């Protein structure tokens, strides 16, 4: 339904969306570098999906990655935290919502690197990418695959 709206009346939906979707999504803290443009675009994606985002510019996002238990090899350009879960990189809001609804025992979600076509990385190309569930021991499993 949302997609149909977007194609028909993009501007109207963009105005209405924050109101409609703001119900009960928790605050996400986001740690990023001050100069990161795609981080800002990802934050906009979260806000458009009802999340309240508190960003903090930090000199080194890897400090937060380490603190939240996300191995560096799964690192990206920003690290977030919501309800005790780490959210690393350009993770789609729908996957964060599923994580919060199902509450698996895990450290959080990660989209390693910065795949083209992920939220905040929109461009001329769409590359396939995976959202990983990072388990408590640091192992991962595929949480969702985007073609």
Q: Which is nearer to Cu ion, 77 or 106 (CB)?
A: 77
CB of 27 closer than 8 Å to CB of 52: yes
DSSP state of 106: S
Q: Is residue 114 near Cu ion by the rule CB under 5 A?
A: yes
For residue 129, the cross-strand partners are 146
Cα 28 from Cα 36, distance rounded (Å) = 17
Length of the chain: 147
Of the listed pieces 13-21, 56-64, 97-105, 112-120, which binds Cu ion according to CB under 5 A? 112-120
Q: Which is nearer to Cu ion, 38 or 106 (CB)?
A: 38
Q: Which is nearer to Cu ion, 2 or 63 (CB)?
A: 63
Of the listed pieces 4-12, 17-25, 32-40, 49-57, which binds Cu ion according to CB under 5 A? 32-40
Name, in order, each residue with C-beta under 8 angstroms of 143's C-beta and a sequence gap of 6 or more.
95, 99, 109, 130, 131, 132, 133
List the one residue from 28, 38, 93, 99 that touches Cu ion (CB under 5 A).
38
CB of 109 to Cu ion, least distance (A): 15
Q: Is residue 77 near Cu ion by the rule CB under 5 A?
A: yes
Of the listed pieces 4-12, 75-83, 96-104, 122-130, which binds Cu ion according to CB under 5 A? 75-83
Alpha helices in the chain (DSSP H): 2-8, 10-21, 37-48, 61-68, 93-102
Write out the residues near Cu ion by the rule CB under 5 A: 38, 77, 114
């Amino acid at each position: 339904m949302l997609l149909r709206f977007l194609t028909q009346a993009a501007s109207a939906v963009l105005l209405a969306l924050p109101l409609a979707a703001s119900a009960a999504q928790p605050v996400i803290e986001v740690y990023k570098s001050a100069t990161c443009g795609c981080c800002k675009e990802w934050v906009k994606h979260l806000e458009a999906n009802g999340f309240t985002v508190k960003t903090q510019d930090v000199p080194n996002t890897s400090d937060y990655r380490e603190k939240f238990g996300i191995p560096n090899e799964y690192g990206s350009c920003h690290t977030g935290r919501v309800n005790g879960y780490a959210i690393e990189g350009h993770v789609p809001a729908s996957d964060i919502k599923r994580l919060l609804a199902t509450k698996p025992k895990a450290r959080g979600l990660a989209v390693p690197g910065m795949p083209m076509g992920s939220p905040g990385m929109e461009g001329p190309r769409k590359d396939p990418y995976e959202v990983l569930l990072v388990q408590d021991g640091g192992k991962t499993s595929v949480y969702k695959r985007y073609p």
